[in-house]
Amino acid sequence: EIVLTQSPGTLSLSPGERATLSCRASQSVRSSYLAWHQQKPGQAPRLLIYGASSRATDIPARFSGSGSGTDFTLTISRLEPEDFAVYYCQQYGSSPWTFGQGTKVEIK
Amino acid sequence: EVQLVESGGGLVQPGRSLRLSCVASRFTFDDYAMHWVRQAPGKGLEWVSGISWNSATIDYADSVKGRFTISRDNAKNSLFLQMNSLRTEDTAFYYCARDKNIAAAGLFDYWGQGTLVTVSS
């Protein structure tokens, strides 16, 4: 099973600032099958990024993903008020499909 | 917009059973694999089970293997999760999620709002 470790656990930033979230895998993720999901309190998760760098439908361009192998990054170029949430990375390169423990992006 | 609506959650005693349902709409259900993903209150996400479009491929997390059974009825646009021998650690919100692929490839592109299962005596 691939274990995903996200850092930092919490990111305190102001609107307009840049957010950089990290996800490290315990072994190489096949074909960069790495996704990022956003979850707001009381809501279901929403797919943001798949294939490490492809934006999902209707996801704004301020969200970008990068990385390969075992190291992946989600970048939010300029935080909007609606971006304060928990972000999970998830690998779908090998079953069982696993998630990181999440990074909370909170308002500073 | 894709819609997934779960039901069937509730309070159940340890060792008992519960059946969850998920009704899909606004997309062609049998063109996609489907999954169940759970989240204990205040915790992270855990994949539970997945099923391909034609039910030919089914997979489970080790934590539920032998106790949970996933199934689907394409004629009724519905996904199910039969949960037997429930344990307190199964307490969680259970989300129905669509796979971006026809096979159960593990990429969840749409999620339902979830149904809460509480296992307690």
pLDDT the model gives residue B118: 98
Pairwise CA distance, residues A35 & A92, whole Å: 8
Whether residue B47 lies within 8 A of chain A, CB to CB, comes out as: yes
- Do the chains contact at B112 and A56, CB–CB below 8 Å? no
Whether the CB-CB separation of A6 and A23 falls below 8 Å is answered with: yes
Q: Are strands A10-13 and A103-107 parallel, antiparallel or unpaired?
A: parallel
A65's tokens: 């993903």
What average pLDDT does range B20-40 have in this prediction?
A: 97
Q: Which residue of A92, A98, A101 is the best one to mutate when testing the B interface, meaning the one whose CB has the most B CBs within 10 A?
A: A92
pLDDT tens figures, A44-92 = 999 999 999 999 999 999 999 999 999 999 999 999 999 999 999 999 9
Out of B61, B105, B113, whose CB is closest to A92? B105
Out of A44, A92, A100, whose CB is closest to B95? A44
B21's tokens: 């349902």
pLDDT the model gives residue B103: 76
- Do the chains contact at B108 and A46, CB–CB below 8 Å? no
* Residues in chain A within 8 Å Cβ distance of B35: 97
pLDDT greater than 80 at residue A94 = yes
Compute the Cα dihedral for B24, B27, B92, B73 and give only its sign: positive
pLDDT the model gives residue B101: 85
pLDDT greater than 90 at residue B93 = yes
